[in-house]
């Protein structure tokens, strides 16, 4: 009585999709039905990406930014491939070039990445890796070494932590080395990516929000998400109006941290564009490559 009749709403999904694209030109609304059996057709999937979401696909303050959402019959390779294909088309990101995608290695998702986004940088949520790892190798020593390996910014630091794990258990060492480091340790991340995230906490946060809508009929569900996204974007815009800084608050925080750390660093010029940098606080030494102007800054 409150949310409407489920059968009635499933019967109007075509009208809903048509309304979205009519009154919000440039949006994408796709409905897929199963026609393999005798009529009536059965609803299978629905995908929505509003024009404003794809047009302004960026958040300079690193907040959650919902771009597209879908309802599917089951999470598998086929449904993930379908969703990712539509998403890449809306974002105009052929083969996923320029994107960094973090996942929990959901069944079928890794195969979909290979098919649709072979040029994207793929990362695995380290919280999920640790959840599986600790089932066999638990304890504070393993935990400390594992997280240090994840956050390592140099291969020497990474190898040192893995050697410590190998000393404890060769099986634990083999388990971690079987997962390519480029998917879960910062030292191996591509320099083209502009994020150092290790976990998909943002996705988990959004999943918690969606719990309120999951049990509603299809159109009520879709409208709940649309209104939530619209409200969220409005609140973000209002928050920015009164902000007077030159860059966003989170970026300012990062820059202040970098400024404080730089004051503890000294460098010796090696060859053109290469420097030996020593951090007095951490007592670490590394080789830094870059243009002279950046090094001096």
pLDDT in tens, 278-294: 887 665 555 544 433 33
Q: Identify the burial level of 184 via C-beta atoms within 10 angstroms of its C-beta, where 0-12 means exposed, 13-18 middle and 19 or more buried.
A: buried
Residue ending a domain, among 168, 183, 199, is: 199
| pTM for the structure as a whole | 0.81
Say if residue 142 is in the same domain as residue 231. no
Residues 51 and 178 in one domain: no
Work out whether strand 121-124 and strand 100-103 pair parallel, antiparallel, or are unpaired.
Answer: parallel
273 vs 76, more confident: 76
CA dist 283 → 243, 264, 278, 279 (Å)? 38, 10, 7, 5
Dist CA 182 CA 126 (whole Å): 12
Residues 89 and 220 placed together within one structural domain of the fold: yes
Whether 21 is in a domain gets the answer: yes
- pLDDT on residue 13: 92
Same domain, 230 and 268: no
Mean pLDDT across 116-120: 95
Number of domains in the chain: 3
Q: Are residues 17 and 83 in the same domain?
A: yes
pLDDT at 296: 33
What whole-number percentage of the chain has pLDDT above 70?
Answer: 92
Same domain, 239 and 155: no
Is residue 256 assigned to a domain? no
The answer on 232 and 86 residing in a single domain is yes
Per-chain mean pLDDT for the chain: 87
Residue 104 lies in a domain: no
Q: Is residue 288 part of a domain?
A: yes
Per-residue confidence band for 206, with pLDDT thresholds at 50, 70 and 90:
confident
- Residue 121 within a domain: no
Residue 11: inside a domain = yes
For the segment 21-66, what is each residue's pLDDT rounded down to a tens digit? 999 999 999 999 887 666 667 889 999 999 989 988 887 777 788 8
Domain of residue 286 covers 264-296
Let me know if residue 167 belongs to a domain: yes
Residue 146 in contact with residue 132, Cβ under 8 Å? no
44 and 168 fall within a common domain: no
Beta bridge partners of residue 100, listed in sequence order: 121
Q: Are 195 and 217 members of one domain?
A: no
Same domain, 4 and 74: yes
d(CA 45, CA 13): 10
Q: What is the pLDDT of residues 224-239, one digit of tens each?
A: 999 999 998 888 888 7
HEC-encoded secondary structure of the chain: CCCCCHHHHHCCHHHHHHHHHHHCCCCEEEEEEECCCCCCCEEEEEEEECHHHHHCCCCCCCCCCCCCEEECCCCCHHHHHHHHHHHHHHHCCHHHCCCEEEECCCCCHHHHHHHHCCCCEEEECHHHHHHHHCCCCCCHHHHHHHHHHHHCCCHHHHHHHHHHHHHHCHHHHHHHHCCCHHHCCHHHCCCCCCCCCCCCHHHHHHHHHHCCCCCCCHHHHHHHHHHHHHHHHHHHHHHHHCCCCCCCHHHHHHHHHHHHHHCCEEEEEEECCEEEEEECCCCEEEEEECCHHHHHC
Spatial contact of 46 and 223, defined as CB atoms under 8 Å apart = no
**Phi, psi (5° rounding) for residue 12?**
-115, 15
φ and ψ at residue 41, rounded to 5 degrees: -70, 150
**Do 6 and 81 sit in the same domain of this protein?**
yes
Task: Judge if 79 and 213 occupy the same domain.
Answer: yes
Flag whether 101 is in a domain: no
């Amino acid at each position: 009585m409150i949310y409407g009749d489920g059968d009635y709403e499933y019967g109007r999904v075509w009208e809903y999709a048509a309304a979205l694209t009519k009154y919000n030109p440039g949006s994408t609304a796709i409905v897929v039905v199963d026609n393999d059996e005798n009529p009536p057709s059965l609803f299978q999937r629905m995908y929505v990406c509003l024009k404003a979401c794809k047009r302004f696909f960026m958040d300079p303050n690193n907040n959650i930014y919902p771009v597209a959402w879908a309802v599917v019959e089951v999470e598998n390779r086929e449904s993930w491939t379908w969703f990712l294909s539509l998403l890449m088309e809306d974002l105009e990101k052929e083969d996923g070039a320029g994107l960094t995608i973090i996942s929990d290695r959901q069944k079928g998702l890794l195969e979909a990445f290979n098919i649709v986004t072979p040029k994207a940088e793929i990362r695995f949520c380290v919280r999920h890796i640790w959840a599986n790892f600790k089932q066999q190798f638990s304890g504070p020593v393993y935990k400390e070494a594992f997280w240090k390996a994840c956050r390592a910014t140099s291969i020497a630091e990474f190898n040192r932590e893995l050697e410590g794990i190998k000393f404890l258990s060769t099986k634990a060492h083999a388990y971690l080395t079987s997962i390519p480091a480029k998917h879960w340790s910062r030292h191996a991340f591509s320099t083209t990516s502009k994020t150092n995230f290790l976990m998909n906490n943002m996705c988990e946060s959004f999943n918690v929000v969606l719990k309120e809508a999951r049990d509603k009929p299809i159109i009520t569900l879709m409208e709940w998400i649309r209104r939530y996204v619209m409200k969220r974007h409005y609140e973000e815009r209002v928050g920015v109006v009164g902000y007077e800084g030159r860059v966003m608050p989170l970026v300012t925080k990062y820059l202040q941290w970098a400024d404080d750390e730089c004051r503890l660093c000294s460098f010796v010029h090696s060859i053109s564009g290469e420097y030996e940098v020593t951090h007095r606080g951490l007592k670490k030494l590394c080789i830094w490559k870059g243009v002279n102007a950046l090094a001096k800054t």
